[in-house]
Structure 1
Amino acid sequence: MATSRLFRTTSAAVAAAALLISGCSSGSSPSGTEASPERTGPGPGRAAPSASPALGPLPTATPANLRPYYDQKLTWRDCGVAGFQCATLKVPLDYAEPSADTDLELAVARKKATGPGTRIGSLMVNPGGPGGSAIDYLQQYAPQPAQVRARYDMVAVDPRGVARSEPVRCLSNKRMDKYTQTDQTPDDSAEVDKLTTAYRDFAKGCESRSGKVLPHVSTIESARDMDVLREVLGDKKLSYMGASYGTFLGATYAGLFPSRSGRLVLDGAMNPELDSRTINLNQTAGFNTAFTAFAADCIKRKDCPLGTKSTDDAGKRLSAFFQQLDARPLPTGEARRLTESLATTGVIAAMYDEQAWPILREYLAQAKDGNGRGLLTLSDTYYERDPDGSYANQMFANPAVNCLDLPPAFTSPDEVRAALPSFRKASPVFGDNFAWAALNCAYWPVKATGKAHRIEAEGAAPIVVVGTTRDPATPYEWAKALAAQFSGATLLTYDGDGHTAYGRGSDCIDTAINTYLLEGTTPPKNKRCT
């Protein structure tokens, strides 16, 4: 069972597939920062522009009580991965009341510029999530692209609460197994009670195991951590590549520190103006678009496990398959059986990258023959469950950030029931699942500190916002909306399938972004790539 909306980049096939179904991060307010006066100018994709205040910048002068953090020196050591160095960055748990007694230690990694050419500076990267390890991402993908790596020190910091940086923990591996199998499309009041109990137990586990850090893992605080790292690295301005949720993190940085923002690429952009419910509804429609594209490709093939009649018929067949699993889970060759919730998660995982479509067809065919192993594998990949049964921290960090950044999409089962028609309209296949999953933050032990807002980043250097037309997790309208909010930004469009665009096979996209990072030249206005 998915627990909260999770965004991040994908690699070939599903190796890095991710979405956790429910309230995705979109905004929070920094302690001691006043929002700038509201403006109501039009912008594509905006739900209610007149209701969205703008995120105000922090003072340009660093407060004296934060100076020790900005003045610290990093001690670099060999990471044990060829060519990478690691260090530990100290940041305050609470920026409003910094104290050495409660400091957090964040893991940092870098791969120094290799040349040829003059070193430009550091390029910080974040793959999204929230909850994705930036260090893992850096170490896996830093060898590419070579021309960027030659001129920049490639740098990553695992955000607070994530991976190596004071990780949030919630459930044991066995309890997490049980949690992921909870029925997320309840048919009656008893099943609703089981689902809400699962959400409550998850939240209690996070509070008992990670109570210290839980109130301080907001996107605002992580953006402030990035500014500390920027100065410690010796960069006057931040150069940054963020994907998916990483776009919201980068946009937040630009809103807080516009004068320190350099070359920022935001790929698979989020729209910080939207509230949790709108975000979830938009994504429901986004995954329906992605499934329709998959189904259109599938039905052209004689061996399509969803038939060859039409995309609507394929959707009905998939829904019927899920209903069958609700009553009779499939064997998988191990103690866990393929439940409806696990199968749904497996299918959703494959929507992130069209290169995963052949794998999904194969595993759906296996399931049709009574073998649920393949779809369980997809679900495990999505949840970052290792073969030994252990889970990565991502599934815990994700709701911790999301539920702090925005008030919950729903506060009761009755609110979910009232919204089901709109979610079903957005996606007949996934609507119920997405709607009920959006209830999880209602039981979170820490009250949200953020709210929806615009990010204008007045005074920032030109920013490149990238959107994919059939992106399931971050719909294209979000990229259009974010680009419209910034006082200076260029929208770069990828006409294609899958989540994010850079490094996924489009020479047009890659060339435009590499040119911007290396030369500072933004793409032409309204540039579209395939």
Structure 2
Amino acid sequence: MLAPSASAAPAESASYGASYGVPESVGVQIAAARAQHAGIDWKDCPADWGFEKPIQCGVVKVPLDYAKPFGKTIDIAVDRIGNTGTKDERQGALVYNPGGPGGSGMRFPRRVTTKSPLWVNASKAYDFVGFDPRGVGHSTPISCIDPQEFVKAPKADPVPDSEADKRAQRKLAAEYADGCKERSGWMLPHMTTPNTARDLDVIRAALGEKKLNFLGVSYGTYIGGVYATLFPGHVRRMIVDSVVNPKQEQIWYQANLDQDVAFEMRWNDWKAWVAKNDATFHLGNTAAKVEAQWQKLRAAAKANPIGGKVGPAELISFFQSAPYYDSSWVPVAQTWSAYVAGDTQALVDAAAPDMTDIAGNIASENGNAVYTAVECADAKWPTSWKRWDRDNTRLHKNYPFMTWANAWMNLPCATWKAKQSNPIEVGAKRIAPVLIVQSERDAATPYDGAVELHHRLAGSRLITEKGAGSHGVTSLKNPCINERVDGYLLTGKVDAADVTCAPHAAPVAPAPQAKAAGATQASPLLEELPAVRR
């Protein structure tokens, strides 16, 4: 444990803080002062982390419990690449979170090394800094189940046919909650979004920054909103993209129910697009026919898992990327089309877990563990199965694509074995302008969330991508948005009023004569995000 700096607290406070605790607001000040004094020992990244020079890596120590700032600490892994412009052009560090909960931001500096065109201007002014939030990856990680067991396929069909099916899923969820307690119980009470926001402020201090520049996508927007609430005076620039609804009553049970409705909307958008391009994909020339093909595929996989590994659960995990991201529209349709044309292996390669990918499976299990731990710790969930059953049965009738799969993923929170907090009231009346970016038909984070956060952050500006629905708007080419993001990061200026932008270019299906092919390589955005819900 690092010794506190003289400015952090007098020596006698250390004993008090370790034994009896202090307010968390005081604890984070102590931790930030200590981190500012220590800085970050930047070095070449460990070879097994997979980040090449000139990206550098380091570790920031933060309290496990901010009420005990001199007690047990955990590691937060960080990486960076310096700004590409001159010393005079530099405006500090831009810290990134891609979402989750459970997502790693460590790939963010690669937007510089790969010369991503959307980030060239920002990278002249900012060091790009990524981090693994508490519990994730190269930070002190948590686990809930053996990774090989977690990825084992095929899993049971998420859509129950009987009460027996529901009982089986309830048993699995309770066992998963027990596994989290057994394997990671010491961290579970502290796996909250407010603690991640406090960690972010300690990172800010360790970077030597007086104020924070932050880009948060998806769940990262909730981290941003909580940070703005706890540290309004520390915000310099903040962009939140694809926004979680921050209302206390939404976190997290209702948010997941609302997500089921939004996913169905975007699933329907994709089916209509596939039907429009039937000459290429041959999956049906109406959305209804495409849906019929989907039901046929699900039934076939349920009766006889494809390749012995791909059942309905694996199909949903693969196909859900189409409602998530426009970049998946073509590859998912191509893979499905290839299967219908007789290429079974294309779908197996795309949808089945790779049991030999030890590192990937560990990351997948860890991401799901963090997702569950944060959502369960952030709020008190319903414990009555009757309520879960009623709400999800009702929703499934009209929104069947994701409802039950989402329910089972979150059900461990009903029998959670660790402390569950009350969500904080997000909002700030005195804060630097925050830029909010949102597509109108986002499936993972419905549009109402952006509107709500906009109302809660004084002086914020909302950019709406009208008619679009991809998740993670700032990584898409749309000059109406890209130019405003650049302008805000470089000057701090926002428009005098909210802005509505036309949608980015829609995905283009290959020409009809092109042979159907399997899924193409994922986009950089997809590679950054874990296989979780937001």
Q: With the length of structure 1 as denominator, give the TM-score of the two structures.
A: 0.81
Partners of 2:215 and 2:239 within 8 A in 1: yes
Alpha-carbon separation, structure 1, partners of 2:161 and 2:177? 23
Per-residue CA distance 1:442-501 (angstroms, 9 max, x = gap): 1322232133x5421121101011110121111112111111111221001112231121
Partners of 1:458 and 1:486 within 8 A in 2: yes
Partners of 2:112 and 2:120 within 8 A in 1: no
The equivalent residue for 1:308 is 285
The equivalent residue for 2:52 is 81
- Cα drift, residue 195 of structure 1: 1.2
1:291 to 260, 267, 271: 267
More helix by share: 2
Counterpart of 1:109 in 2: which secondary structure? strand
Counterpart of 1:428 in 2: which secondary structure? coil
Per-residue CA distance 1:1-37 (angstroms, 9 max, x = gap): xxxxxxxxxxxxxxxxxxxxxxxxxxxxxx947xxxx
1:363 to 331, 335, 343: 335
Report 1 or 2 for greater relative contact order, CA contacts < 8 Å, sequence distance ≥ 6.
1
The unaligned stretches of length 5 or more in structure 1 are 1-30, 34-57
The equivalent residue for 2:372 is 399
The equivalent residue for 1:72 is 38
Partners of 1:87 and 1:109 within 8 A in 2: yes
Alpha-carbon separation, structure 2, partners of 1:398 and 1:261? 26
- Cα drift, residue 509 of structure 1: 0.8
1:487 to 447, 451, 458: 458
Shift of the 183–137 alpha-carbon distance from structure 1 to 2, 3 Å rule, reads farther
2:109 to 138, 153, 164: 138
What count of residue pairs does the alignment treat as equivalent? Answer: 467
Alpha-carbon separation, structure 2, partners of 1:290 and 1:315? 13
Shift of the 245–222 alpha-carbon distance from structure 1 to 2, 3 Å rule, reads same
Shift of the 387–352 alpha-carbon distance from structure 1 to 2, 3 Å rule, reads farther
Report whether the alignment pairs 1:500 with 2:466.
no
Shift of the 485–441 alpha-carbon distance from structure 1 to 2, 3 Å rule, reads same
Partners of 2:309 and 2:352 within 8 A in 1: no
Shift of the 104–277 alpha-carbon distance from structure 1 to 2, 3 Å rule, reads closer
Alpha-carbon separation, structure 1, partners of 2:299 and 2:252? 28
Shift of the 231–420 alpha-carbon distance from structure 1 to 2, 3 Å rule, reads closer
Shift of the 374–524 alpha-carbon distance from structure 1 to 2, 3 Å rule, reads farther
The unaligned stretches of length 5 or more in structure 2 are 1-21, 46-50, 503-534
2:412 to 419, 437, 440: 440
Shift of the 467–64 alpha-carbon distance from structure 1 to 2, 3 Å rule, reads closer
Q: With the length of structure 2 as denominator, give the TM-score of the two structures.
A: 0.81
2:299 to 323, 337, 347: 323
1:103 is matched by which residue type in structure 2? T
In the TM superposition, 1:130-529 aligns within 5 A as: 130-139=101-110, 143-144=115-116, 145-178=119-152, 181-273=155-247, 274-300=250-276, 301-309=278-286, 311-331=287-307, 336-368=308-340, 372-379=344-351, 386=357, 390-392=361-363, 393-408=366-381, 410-451=382-423, 453-495=424-466, 496-529=468-501
Shift of the 438–99 alpha-carbon distance from structure 1 to 2, 3 Å rule, reads same
- Cα drift, residue 368 of structure 1: 3.4
Per-residue CA distance 1:180-232 (angstroms, 9 max, x = gap): 71332222232222212222222222222222222212111111011111122
- What's the C-alpha RMSD, in Å, of the aligned pairs? 2.7
Alpha-carbon separation, structure 1, partners of 2:196 and 2:348? 33
Shift of the 319–355 alpha-carbon distance from structure 1 to 2, 3 Å rule, reads same
Per-residue CA distance 1:273-293 (angstroms, 9 max, x = gap): 014332112211111121111
Between 1:167-176 and 1:465-474, the stretch displaced more is 167-176
Partners of 2:284 and 2:290 within 8 A in 1: yes
Counterpart of 2:143 in 1: which secondary structure? coil
1:315 is matched by which residue type in structure 2? E
> Percent of aligned pairs with the same residue?
30
2:197 is matched by which residue type in structure 1? A
Higher Rg: 2
2:243 is matched by which residue type in structure 1? A
Alpha-carbon separation, structure 2, partners of 1:282 and 1:94? 32
The equivalent residue for 1:110 is 80
Partners of 1:179 and 1:198 within 8 A in 2: no
In the TM superposition, 1:33-72 aligns within 5 A as: 58=25, 63=29, 67-72=33-38
Alpha-carbon separation, structure 1, partners of 2:35 and 2:96? 21
Shift of the 195–64 alpha-carbon distance from structure 1 to 2, 3 Å rule, reads closer
Shift of the 458–91 alpha-carbon distance from structure 1 to 2, 3 Å rule, reads same
Counterpart of 2:176 in 1: which secondary structure? helix
Partners of 2:270 and 2:322 within 8 A in 1: no
Partners of 1:115 and 1:151 within 8 A in 2: yes
Per-residue CA distance 1:83-126 (angstroms, 9 max, x = gap): 111111111110001235x2111111111112145211111111
